[in-house]
Amino acid sequence: MTAAPAPLFDVVAVAANGAVQSRRVSAQSEQQATQQLQVANLRVLSCRPASAPRWALAALRPRRRARLEVGLFAEELAALLDAGLGMVDAIRTLALKERDESARRAVDRVATDLTEGLPLSQALTVQPETFPALLIATVAASEQTGDLVSALRRYAAHLETLYELRNKVLGAAIYPALLLAVGGLVVLFLLGVVVPRFAQLLEGAHRDLPAASSFLLSWGKAISAHPWIFLGTLVAAGTFLVSQVLRAMRNGWQIPGLQRLWIVGPLVRMFRHAQFFRTAAMLVQGGLPALRAFWMCRPLLTPEDQRGLDAATTEISEGKRIGPALAAVQIADPVALRMLEVAQRTGQLAEVLARIAQFQEAQLARAVTVASRLIEPALMIFIGLVIGGIVVLMYLPIFDLASSLQ
CA distance 292 to 313: 9
CA torsion sign for 319, 133, 154, 277 is positive
Q: What is the mean pLDDT of each run of 10 residues along the chain (406 residues)?
A: 60 63 73 76 70 40 59 86 85 84 86 85 82 82 79 84 79 84 88 81 62 78 82 86 74 62 76 86 83 84 85 88 89 88 85 89 84 84 88 77 62
User: Would you state the pLDDT for residue 160?
Assistant: 84
Q: Please tell me the class of the 157-406 domain.
A: mainly alpha
The domain made up of 8-52 has a fold known as: Ubiquitin-like (UB roll) (3.10.20)
CA distance 355 to 296: 20
CA distance 120 to 124: 6
User: Would you state the pLDDT for residue 54?
Assistant: 40
CA atoms lying within 13 Å on the CB side of residue 268: 20
Return all residues near 404 (Cβ < 8 A) that are at least 6 apart.
207
Phi and psi at residue 52, in whole multiples of 5°? Answer: -70, 160
CA distance 159 to 152: 11
Domain boundaries, the chain: 8-52, 70-136, 157-406
User: Would you state the pLDDT for residue 108?
Assistant: 87
Phi and psi at residue 47, in whole multiples of 5°? Answer: -150, 120
